[in-house]
Chain A
């Protein structure tokens, strides 16, 4: 575990997960509305708790990033070099994504403005989030001194994490929302019930999430060997950073992602085909899948920072 860069691991993972979750949640909204079998209010009721959870996650990430700094006295000077430094751009986009996200969450909470206006705001927020992940990746990609980072692989890795963790986090959060509703209904009826309509919406969303997660899993398993092969052909620093991708830690990281994303994929399709009404197994699997992949990606990001091996002297 790279303890030295722990704040950066936490920040990049949580921020990318937040962007991914926001984009995936938006996609679920758009697809469900286009299909038109569910009202906007009903959909918002299911997805809004996840939206608020994204906000909390992002704030935790931003707070962690501050722990990376040695001197907070001049922290507001961090935006000065926006014309040249990707780090300045990252901070500005991070704050913009958080700010727009909070405004959007507030409009959802208080039902301010028309639904169309809120959707437009969400679309702009998602675009800023994607720009944020791009800026984060450019911080590393542009460093000619670090062969393991100075490659197209870095943005691919970051966007893969974004979509993989974002989608699985939404899956777990939607199931959490459903289970919370189910538990809340206990007091009134003394019987735990789930609205079959809600379960159907979320199970359909989970199916899309499982497909996305498995595609992203495929990207991980294609890009990682390509990255390793390219580094192995490079100079001494490149070869040394390729050696980071070996051993029990690396294998465990790949296994966790593979099992997590694969598990959800197999289970969700079986579940939705057999038309079950008990959401509990699905909730357990969605949460487990997210947990396994989160740990796997966290371990992977630790390796990413272990690969900070520079050319020169």
Chain B
């Protein structure tokens, strides 16, 4: 069995510039409304009582997500036509010669990875830049990150180097799809299910 591929995201380095998002959109020539890689800002805060005064205690961090080419790819499981397929390297892609555009995979994915292409009536998604990889290049998003917050490679190697963490707020619990994703969390990152913040400034994305 060949090794599964995945992404690494170093949240301590991400400043939310969205170069990855734009590079992805540009490389794949995605229409308005289709964004295979997305960056969101997760923020919140509380007040701390300090003597007679209240001090604000706030936090904000960024999360960059595309398809995580999950071990239990729920999009592949629910697809009625088998158009959503997973290669031996774990990369999930859409076979246009089978897709009927029913959008069931879109409902099923908690990472919003499969996105509908209204012009062609079929689903579209990240294929980890198959063509770039074939030429020995990094995927567009990884290459574009100015702070080197993104990386990709065999998931076993990424986990050996960076640990096992695959979910923090606002991502879904990793047990749902077993994403091939490794995260180095921001110092204020919150475990899944204990989040006190929310996704803010959505219009910026």
Contact = CB atoms under 8 A, between A and B. Distances in A.
B58 interface: no
B81 interface: yes
Interface stretch (B13-21, B140-148, B169-177): B169-177
A69 B118 CA distance: 11
A309 to B, nearest CB: 11
A78 B172 contact: no
Q: Interface residues of A toward B: which range?
A: 20 to 34
A48 B83 CA distance: 42
A85 interface: yes
B122 A313 contact: no
Nearest to B120: A71
B100 A78 contact: yes
Nearest to B103: A70
Nearest to A145: B110
A69 B80 contact: no
A143 B102 CA distance: 15
B107 A85 contact: no
B110 A310 contact: yes
B74 interface: yes
B174 to A, nearest CB: 11
Contacts of B107: 143, 145-146, 308, 310
A75 B81 CA distance: 9
Contacts of A313: 38, 40, 63, 65, 110-112, 170-171, 199
A95 interface: no
Interface of A: 68-72, 74-75, 77-81, 84-88, 91, 139, 142-146, 235-236, 308, 310-313
Interface string B79-107: 11111000000000000011111111001
Contact of B100 (A77, A84, A145): A77
Given A310-B112, A313-B111, A87 B171 contact: no
B191 interface: no
A45 to B, nearest CB: 41
Contacts of B65: 313
A118 to B, nearest CB: 33
B12 to A, nearest CB: 19
A74 B99 contact: yes
B78 A85 contact: yes
Contacts, number: 109
Interface of B: 38, 40, 63, 65, 74, 77-83, 97-104, 107-112, 116, 118, 120-122, 170-172, 176, 193, 195, 198-199
Contacts of B40: 313
A145 B108 contact: yes
10 contacts: A69-B102, A70-B103, A75-B100, A77-B81, A78-B102, A87-B104, A146-B107, A236-B198, A313-B40, A313-B112
B121 A312 contact: no
Given A77-B83, A86-B78, A71 B109 contact: no
B122 A71 contact: yes
Contacts of B193: 235
A80 B110 contact: no
Given A70-B116, A139-B104, A145-B74, A312 B170 contact: yes
Q: Which 8 A-B residue pairings sit nearest by Cβ, starting from the closest?
A: A70-B101, A70-B121, A312-B110, A312-B172, A71-B121, A87-B80, A77-B81, A145-B110
Contacts of B198: 236
Contact of A77 (B78, B82, B111, B171): B82
With most chain B CB atoms within 10 A of its CB, the pick from A78, A79, A91 is A78
Contacts of B79: 81, 85, 87
